[in-house]
Every structure is written in C-alpha cells, then in structure tokens.
C-alpha cells in the first residue's frame, strides 16, 4: 500500500511535468484569432469610475466611455454586440497592465496613460489616444485655495500605482513645498478621503475628478483648480508584438472619429450607406472597395461599430459630455476640424 | 534426500537478493527519481515563466531597484527626496515602517492577550462575560473588515478640521489625520546622560542579582525594586544635571493645512497597529486560557495550602508552568501578526508591501519585486521563529 501511493505520487509528478513541458501553443497566435475562436471579447475596464467604466446601479450593465469602446471593438469583430460576445473585467490601477501581459484581457480600455516607459518596458503596445486628459487638483470650495501655489503643507489624496502620484510629487517638489501624500488603491477610497477630511485635496486626471465628483453627495462642494500639471494621453493597451490585433484596435477607434468627421451618426447611418460619395462608400465598406477586409474583419465593420455605439462625438456626449453629471467640454477631445486634437488617418 | 529441503532452505536464505528486489535499492532509486522529478518540475516552472516573459518582450531584472522611487512616502521619513531616493532605499523605509507596526504589535498583543486570557478564567462573572464576548467578536470577523471599521470609525469620530483638533496636555493634538505630539531630540551633550544612565542600569541590575542571592541564602524577601529603582533614578538625575538638560523639545505648530514640526503618528499607523493587536490578542487569549487550564489543579491547591494569595499563585505558580505550553502556539500567532501587517495597504499605510507594489507598478518588474518582497517577509518570519524557538528551548522542562 505504501509503495502504491508512492508510485501514484511519482506518476502525478510526471503527468504534471509533461503538461507543463508542452509549450503554450497559443503564445504565437494572434489575439484576433483567439477572440474569434473563443466567441467573445474580454475587455479590461475600470468598473468604479462614473462616466468611463462603471456598473449601472439599476441595470447592472457596464456603462461609460471606455465600456463603449469595448462594445465598438466587439461589434467590429463579431458584427454585433450580444450578451455573450463581450465580457468586462474590472481591474484596479495596480492590476491592469499585468492582466494584459498575462492575456487575461484581450484589450484594456481603462483610462490608462500612454508613457514611454510603459510602452517600452511593460510588454504592451498603446494607442491610439481616445481621450486627451490632464492631471488636475480638486479641493473643497470652502478651503479657500485658488491654485496649487497656495497649497504648501497640504495633505493630498492620490491613487497609488499611477502616473498621477509621480506628477504630483514633481509638482510639489518643484515648488519646494512640504506635503503629505495619502495613497489608496481604489478611486472610491481617494474621494472618501477628501470627503471625510483625511486630505485637503484630491489629485487625478481631470476627467476622473469630474467623474468622482459627480458621485459625491454634494458635487457643488468641490472645485477643480485651474492648474493642469501633466499631459495624460489615455489610450487603449494590448499585448506587444501582435500587429494584426493592434491594427484592429487602432482602426476601430479611428472609425468612430472618422464617422464623426463625415457626419455619420447612429440616426443617419442608413442614409449614409446609400450615399454615392466614393469616400463614404469606401469608409463604410459598401460596394467593392476594401475596408474591413484589409484588417481581416468584415468589410463593412464600420457600419456595425456605428450601429452599436455611434460615432466618437456620440460616445463622448452620451457618457461624459456637457449634459451628463460629469459635464466635460469637448476641448482637446474635439476633432481637428473643430480645433481639437483627434485626427484619424486617411481611410484609404 | 531427507536433508535436501533444509539445505535448499539455508542456501536461499543466504543467496544475495538481486538489487531490483532489494528494498534498500528500491527506496534509494525512488528517492533519486523523486528528486529529479521535483527539480525538473521547478525548472520547468521557472523556464516557462522566463520564456513567456521573453515572448512578451519582458526580462526579469533587478536593475529597476536602482532607479529613483519618484514619489513621496509620508510615513517614517523626514526630508524625503523622491528624486534621489532609490527603490532599494524606499523598500528599506517601508520595511522600517513594517517593523514599527510589528514590534509594537507583538508587545501590545501579548499584554492584551494575557489579560483577556486570564479574564476568561476569572471568578467574576462580568469580567468573564466581557472576555468571552471580546474573543468571539474579534476572532470570528475578518481582519480586513476590522481594519476598515477602525479606520472609518476613527475618521468619522475625530474632529474633521485640523484647526478643531482635540488638544491634550503636552501639547498633543488629535484629528482625523494623525496624533501630533512634541518631538524630543537629544542635544549635543545627551551622550553624558546616556552614559550615566547606562552605568546606573548596570549597577541596578547588579544589585538586583545580589538581592536574589541574599534571598536564596537567608530567606529574606528580595525586594529588588526597592533597590533597583532608586539606583537608576539617582544616576539618571546626576546625568541630567551633568549634561545640563540633555533634551530639546519641539512642539507641533498649526500651519495653514497641517501641524508641522513635532512628531506624529498617522491614522493609518494607529489603525493598523491597533487592528493587529485587537485581532491577534483574541487568539493569544485563548492560547493563554488553554495553557493555564493545563496546569494541574493540584498545583493551585498546594499553593493555596501554603498561604499564597490569588495573585501570587497566578504569578509564581500557574503562569510559569503555563508559559511552557503557551510559547509554541504563541509563536504561530506572532508570525500571523507579522504577515498580516501587509493588510496595511488596504488603508494606505506605507509598509513594505505597499512600497513594493508601488515599485512593481511603476517599473513593471512584478516578478523581481515580488521575489524581493517574499524574501523580506521570509526573513522577518524566520527571525521571529528563531527567537521563539530559542525561548522555547530555554523554557523546556529539565528532567534530572
């Protein structure tokens, strides 16, 4: 009996060995093929940030600007978004890049800032930028502070593991101020720290500040200071060295912008499809001109994307625009034709 | 013919057993095969990790630790410069913060645990009830929940504005962010005071030992404290006068946003230390209770019969014997406390885990960072283990 158990143990060890020794076959396969084979897109989002990626308390659905780009991508790959072909994974700032490295998520739309260090060292590729942001500082109105220059000695709440903690450090050191940073892992804890007086100020990307403020009991209590202390180019992230998948992500994001440039919306999509203009025909993959086929997608994938989520302007206004609790202006996020920075490359 | 069977029997008894049927060879062979399997298994895991990371254009390197930390640590540091402090130094600061929590935590949890454990066996109904209630509540809820509870609780009960801080004599100021108190620093002549105080301590200990010997020889009460305390007080006072006031006091001052100058204990530090003490003490209390109950009742009866009071019985008869049983499981709880200190990250305390995860996130070197972090926690735990084993060894029952 004793010998038997020993042999079984040995056998198990050998089985495990052989299982491990087999190289992970999927390592070289494009994520596009993996997504198709799996029948669903796994998309990493924030999950706790109103306006960008949050669970709707009534329906339990994942809503927001980032979540809509996940929907756009699912529509681009599968033709439509169903309950089964899009899976959201909520990630903290700490977890997000590891999740991409480990292929737990196919793509990350989680207000992640594109930096050279992350691009070069994390085994990730970024882009395109879908939201131009900057880091700001939010304080209670009654603190009586007009700018960051008045904040020598302050306690500041910040999200840990982000570029924002580095930026605020540099901004305060540059001014020669003494300061205390109180670091939390989740956005809800940072805004809680401000609400309950643990900190004098909260720093984060301005879009996040607006989102967090909209979730407080009394949003009118807080003001965002005029100082913008950093550039934050928020962008999609995906695994490095998968050009086919990178192209699909890039051109899906660009498609929403190009649609806005052509004035194509969810409402007038059918009219646009009937358009005889060559450029619009090409963009929507009508007729015999290659569009989606170049990327290995359905030729008319743009139609599917617009039908699912609308153009960039519609996504923006629906989630974070002036008529939402976040009340963000288009600003830098307008198209280049309207004085903004979004400039989709030519669709040809 | 008749001898044949027996001679065959004798021969077969002495014939050498072939190696493939010899239990000793089989065992040795299996050991070697098993060792190879384990090594191969480990190698495969590491090889897979490294090659998968290489596939994703990432290499494990410890060079990232030499880079500047880049952001502020607002706990256990003064004049912290994020641009010149390397990640190694930041880890060291985090480790010191962890040690500050663990050291105070171990002392606090021992004292509280012993008191509650004794309380659980008290003849007073109310004391027993409170001790039982305490143990059940703290042992049966998760530590993480308790930490959040204490943290939020401290936050909402303390004054919200720094300007409205509770002022205690000292001066000590208490608000939602920290307890601010005067910073006491030694002056240039402080070494004179330390020197004389040290001599006083040595003389005091000498007297202590001498009194114990006298007690052994003559049976007079030792009254050690009556000799020890005046001695160190005398030497301390002389040292104070010679050094001419060896300490300077710097009071915290209220500035625009916070108290500056002075020293402080942050709410995060207090929460974590308090939470660890309260949680671990519940387990320690039950260990102490079990240890005391394991002392044979005859010992207590014998002590009573010889005229020992209740307190003396506990102090001189029961606890020394119970200690021998308490030490091994107590060591386990000490290890738990040390490891649980990593939960401080949940409330934003800058312990070594928190610092390491910041480094991991800012550099992307999660494998290297976590390897270092595991080594640090392993070192801490092994140190506690070694100390507790030494204590256990010195306490063992010596049979003559």
Q: Between B37, B255, B354, which is nearest A14 by CB?
A: B37
**Model confidence at B22, in pLDDT bands (50, 70, 90)?**
confident
How far away is chain B from the Cα of A2, in angstroms, using its nearest Cα? 12
- pLDDT (mean) for B300-306: 92
* B62 and chain A in contact, CB less than 8 A: no
From CA A85, how far away is CA A17, in angstroms rounded? 34
pLDDT at position A19 over 80: no
**Model confidence at B243, in pLDDT bands (50, 70, 90)?**
confident
Q: Which residue from B minimizes the CA distance to A179?
A: B74
**Model confidence at B1, in pLDDT bands (50, 70, 90)?**
very low
Highest mean pLDDT among A194-198, A284-288, B269-273: B269-273
pLDDT at position B246 over 50: yes
Least confident of A188-192, B239-243, B367-371: B239-243
Ramachandran sector of residue B295 (left: φ over 0; alpha: ψ -120 to 50; beta: rest): beta
Is there a domain that residue A201 lies in?
A: yes
Interface with chain A: mutation pick from B256, B349, B365, highest number of A CBs within 10 Å = B256
Interface touch B177/A155, C-beta < 8 Å: yes
pLDDT at position B169 over 90: no
Q: Sort out which chain B residues have CB atoms less than 8 A from A169's CB and list them.
A: 70-72, 82
| pLDDT score at B261 | 80
| pLDDT score at A24 | 47
| pLDDT score at A15 | 54
Is there a contact between B265 and B179 (Cβ–Cβ < 8 Å)? yes
| pLDDT score at A25 | 42
Measured CA to CA in angstroms, residue A188 lies from A26, A215, A281, B183 at distances of: 37, 9, 46, 34
Q: pTM of the full predicted structure?
A: 0.77
| pLDDT score at A23 | 44
How far away is chain A from the Cα of B46, in angstroms, using its nearest Cα? 11
| pLDDT score at A6 | 55
**Model confidence at B399, in pLDDT bands (50, 70, 90)?**
low
Q: Which residue from A minimizes the CA distance to B360?
A: A161
Q: Which residue from A minimizes the CA distance to B159?
A: A197
Tokens representing residue B206 in the block: 């000498």
pLDDT at position A183 over 80: yes
Q: Between B37, B255, B346, which is nearest A10 by CB?
A: B37
Interface touch B37/A17, C-beta < 8 Å: yes
Residues sharing a CB contact under 8 Å with residue A47, sequence separation 6 or more, in sequence order: A53, A54, A55, A62, A88, A90, A91
Interface touch A241/B56, C-beta < 8 Å: yes
Is there a domain that residue A192 lies in?
A: yes
| pLDDT score at A11 | 57
Is there a domain that residue A255 lies in?
A: no
* B345 and chain A in contact, CB less than 8 A: yes
pLDDT in tens, B146-157: 999 999 998 888
Higher pLDDT, B261 or A278: A278
pLDDT at position A284 over 80: yes
Measured CA to CA in angstroms, residue B163 lies from A223, B154, B167, B207 at distances of: 21, 17, 10, 51
How far away is chain B from the Cα of A201, in angstroms, using its nearest Cα? 10
Interface touch A17/B44, C-beta < 8 Å: yes
Range of the structural domain that residue A170 is part of: 134-231
Q: Number of structural domains, chain A?
A: 1
Mean confidence (pLDDT) of chain A: 88
* B83 and chain A in contact, CB less than 8 A: yes
| pLDDT score at B78 | 74
- pLDDT (mean) for B315-328: 90
How far away is chain A from the Cα of B228, in angstroms, using its nearest Cα? 45
Helix (H) / strand (E) containing B276: helix B267-294
Q: Which residue from A minimizes the CA distance to B35?
A: A10
From CA A166, how far away is CA B362, in angstroms rounded? 9
| pLDDT score at A22 | 46
- The two most distant CA atoms of chain B are separated, in Å, by 115
Is there a contact between A111 and A205 (Cβ–Cβ < 8 Å)? yes
| pLDDT score at B185 | 81
pLDDT in tens, B51-72: 877 776 677 888 889 988 988 8
pLDDT at position B4 over 70: no
| pLDDT score at A2 | 47
Partner A, chain B 101-130, Cβ-Cβ below 8 Å: none
* B72 and chain A in contact, CB less than 8 A: yes
- pLDDT (mean) for A197-208: 91
Is there a domain that residue A60 lies in?
A: no
How far away is chain B from the Cα of A192, in angstroms, using its nearest Cα? 10
Interface touch A161/B357, C-beta < 8 Å: yes
pLDDT at position A102 over 60: yes
Q: Which residue from B minimizes the CA distance to A197?
A: B160
Tokens representing residue B279 in the block: 């949680």
DSSP character at residue B295: S
For residue B318, list its beta bridge partners.
none
pLDDT at position A222 over 80: yes
| pLDDT score at A4 | 52
Mean confidence (pLDDT) of chain B: 88
Is there a domain that residue A183 lies in?
A: yes
Interface touch B348/A182, C-beta < 8 Å: yes
Is there a domain that residue A153 lies in?
A: yes
User: What number of C-beta contacts closer than 8 Å exist between A and B?
Assistant: 133
Is there a domain that residue A108 lies in?
A: no
Highest mean pLDDT among A7-16, A32-41, B158-167: A32-41
| pLDDT score at A31 | 94
**Model confidence at B228, in pLDDT bands (50, 70, 90)?**
confident
Partner A, chain B 267-286, Cβ-Cβ below 8 Å: 267-268
pLDDT at position A3 over 70: no
Partner A, chain B 211-240, Cβ-Cβ below 8 Å: none
* B170 and chain A in contact, CB less than 8 A: no
pLDDT in tens, A318-330: 999 999 988 888 9
Q: Between A16, A17, A169, which is nearest B72 by CB?
A: A169
Q: Sort out which chain A residues have CB atoms less than 8 A from B40's CB and list them.
A: 17
From CA A209, how far away is CA A226, in angstroms rounded? 13
From CA B326, how far away is CA B348, in angstroms rounded? 34
- pLDDT (mean) for B3-30: 71
* B346 and chain A in contact, CB less than 8 A: yes
Interface with chain B: mutation pick from A22, A28, A101, A137, highest number of B CBs within 10 Å = A101
Is there a domain that residue A158 lies in?
A: yes
Residues sharing a CB contact under 8 Å with residue A221, sequence separation 6 or more, in sequence order: A140, A141, A142
pLDDT in tens, A128-148: 999 999 999 999 998 889 999
For residue A166, the domain's CATH number is 3.40.190.10
pLDDT at position A283 over 90: yes
Higher pLDDT, B366 or B150: B150
Q: Which residue from B minimizes the CA distance to A124?
A: B56
pLDDT at position B334 over 80: yes
Higher pLDDT, A72 or B53: A72
Q: How many CB atoms lie within 10 A of CB A315?
A: 24
DSSP labels for B88-152? HHHHHHHHHHHHHHHHHHHHHHHHHHHHHHHHHT-S-HHHHHHHHHHHHHHHSS-HHHHHHHHHH
| pLDDT score at A10 | 53
Q: Which residue from B minimizes the CA distance to A184?
A: B348
pLDDT at position A262 over 80: yes
Interface with chain B: mutation pick from A91, A182, A241, A242, highest number of B CBs within 10 Å = A182
pLDDT at position B9 over 80: no
* B74 and chain A in contact, CB less than 8 A: yes
- pLDDT (mean) for A57-79: 94
| pLDDT score at A315 | 96
* B332 and chain A in contact, CB less than 8 A: no
Partner A, chain B 360-389, Cβ-Cβ below 8 Å: 360-364, 366
- pLDDT (mean) for B176-184: 87
| pLDDT score at B400 | 60
pLDDT at position B398 over 80: no
From CA A65, how far away is CA A234, in angstroms rounded? 12
| pLDDT score at A12 | 57
Q: Which residue from A minimizes the CA distance to B23?
A: A3
pLDDT in tens, B71-87: 888 888 877 888 888 99
Q: Between B71, B256, B357, which is nearest A181 by CB?
A: B71
Q: Which residue from B minimizes the CA distance to A115?
A: B362
Interface touch B71/A27, C-beta < 8 Å: no
- pLDDT (mean) for B352-357: 92
**Model confidence at A158, in pLDDT bands (50, 70, 90)?**
very high
- pLDDT (mean) for A282-301: 90
Q: Sort out which chain B residues have CB atoms less than 8 A from A180's CB and list them.
A: 72, 74, 177, 258
| pLDDT score at A16 | 53
Q: Which residue from B minimizes the CA distance to A193?
A: B155
Q: Sort out which chain A residues have CB atoms less than 8 A from B346's CB and list them.
A: 185
* 3-state class (DSSP) for residue B34: helix
């Amino acid at each position: 009996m004793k010998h038997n158990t020993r042999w079984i143990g040995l056998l198990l060890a050998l089985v495990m060995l052989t299982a491990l020794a087999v190289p992970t076959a999927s390592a070289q396969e494009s994520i596009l093929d993996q997504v198709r084979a799996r029948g669903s897109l796994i998309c990493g989002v924030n999950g706790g940030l109103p306006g960008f990626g949050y669970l709707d308390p009534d329906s339990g659905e994942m809503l927001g600007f980032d979540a809509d780009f996940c929907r756009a991508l699912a529509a681009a790959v599968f033709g439509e978004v169903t309950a089964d072909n899009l899976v959201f994974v909520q990630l903290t700032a700490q977890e997000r890049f590891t999740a991409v490295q480990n292929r737990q998520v196919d793509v990350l739309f989680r207000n992640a800032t594109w930096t050279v260090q992350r691009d070069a060292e994390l085994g990730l590729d970024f882009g395109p930028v879908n939201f131009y942001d900057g880091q700001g500082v939010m304080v209670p109105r009654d603190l009586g502070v007009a700018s960051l220059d008045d904040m020598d000695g302050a306690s500041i709440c910040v999200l840990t593991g982000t570029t924002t903690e580095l930026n605020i450090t540099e901004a305060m050191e540059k001014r020669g101020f003494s300061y205390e940073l109180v670091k939390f892992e989740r956005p809800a804890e940072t805004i809680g720290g401000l609400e309950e007086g643990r900190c004098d100020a909260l720093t984060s990307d301005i879009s996040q500040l607006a989102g967090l403020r909209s979730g407080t009991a009394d949003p009118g209590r807080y003001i965002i200071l005029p100082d913008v202390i950093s550039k934050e180019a928020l962008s999609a992230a995906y695994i490095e060295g998968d050009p086919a998948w990178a192209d699909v992500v890039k051109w899906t994001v660009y498609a929403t912008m190009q649609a806005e440039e052509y004035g194509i919306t969810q409402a007038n999509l059918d009219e646009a499809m009937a358009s005889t203009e060559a450029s619009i025909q090409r963009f929507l993959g009508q007729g015999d001109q290659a569009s989606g086929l170049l990327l290995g997608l359905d030729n008319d994938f743009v139609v599917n994307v617009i039908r699912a989520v609308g153009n960039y302007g519609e996504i923006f206004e629906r989630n974070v625009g002036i008529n939402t609790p976040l009340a963000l202006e288009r600003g830098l996020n307008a198209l280049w034709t309207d004085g903004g920075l979004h400039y989709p490359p030519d669709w040809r | 013919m008749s001898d044949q069977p027996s001679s065959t029997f004798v021969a077969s008894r002495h014939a050498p057993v072939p190696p493939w049927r010899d239990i000793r060879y089989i065992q040795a062979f299996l050991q070697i095969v098993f060792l190879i399997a384990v090594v191969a298994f480990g190698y495969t895991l590491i090889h897979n990790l490294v090659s998968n990371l290489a596939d994703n254009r990432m290499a494990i390197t410890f060079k990232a630790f030499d880079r500047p930390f880049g952001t502020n640590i607002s706990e256990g540091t003064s004049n912290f410069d994020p641009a010149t402090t390397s990640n190694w130094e930041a880890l060291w600061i985090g480790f010191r913060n962890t040690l500050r929590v663990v050291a105070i935590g171990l002392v606090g949890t021992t004292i509280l645990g012993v008191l509650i454990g004794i309380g659980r066996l008290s003849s007073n109904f109310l004391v027993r009830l409170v001790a039982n209630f305490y143990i059940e509540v703290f042992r049966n809820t998760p530590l993480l929940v308790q930490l959040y509870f204490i943290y939020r609780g401290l936050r909402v009960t303390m004054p919200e504005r720094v300007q409205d801080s509770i002022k205690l004599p000292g001066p000590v100021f208490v608000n939602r962010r920290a307890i601010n108190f005067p910073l006491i620093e030694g002056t240039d002549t402080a070494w004179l005071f330390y020197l004389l105080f040290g001599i006083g301590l040595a003389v005091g200990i000498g007297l202590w030992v001498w009194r114990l010997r006298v007690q052994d020889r003559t049976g007079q009460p030792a009254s050690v404290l009556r000799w020890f305390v005046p001695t160190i007080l005398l030497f301390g006072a002389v040292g104070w006068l010679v050094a001419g006031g060896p300490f300077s006091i710097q009071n915290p001052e209220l500035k625009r946003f916070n108290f500056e100058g002075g020293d402080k204990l942050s709410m995060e530090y207090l929460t974590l230390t308090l939470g660890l003490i309260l949680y671990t003490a519940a387990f320690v209390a039950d260990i102490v209770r079990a240890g005391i109950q394991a002392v044979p009742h005859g010992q207590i009866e014998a002590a009573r019969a010889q005229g020992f009071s209740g307190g003396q019985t506990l102090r001189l008869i029961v606890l020394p014997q119970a200690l021998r049983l308490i030490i091994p499981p107590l060591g386990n709880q000490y290890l738990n406390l040390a490891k649980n200190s990593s939960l401080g990250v949940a409330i934003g305390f800058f312990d070594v885990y928190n610092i390491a995860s910041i480094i991991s996130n800012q550099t992307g070197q999660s494998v290297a960072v976590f390897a270092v972090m595991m080594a640090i926690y392993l070192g801490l735990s092994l140190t506690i283990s070694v100390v507790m084993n030494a204590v256990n060894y010195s306490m063992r029952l010596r049979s003559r």
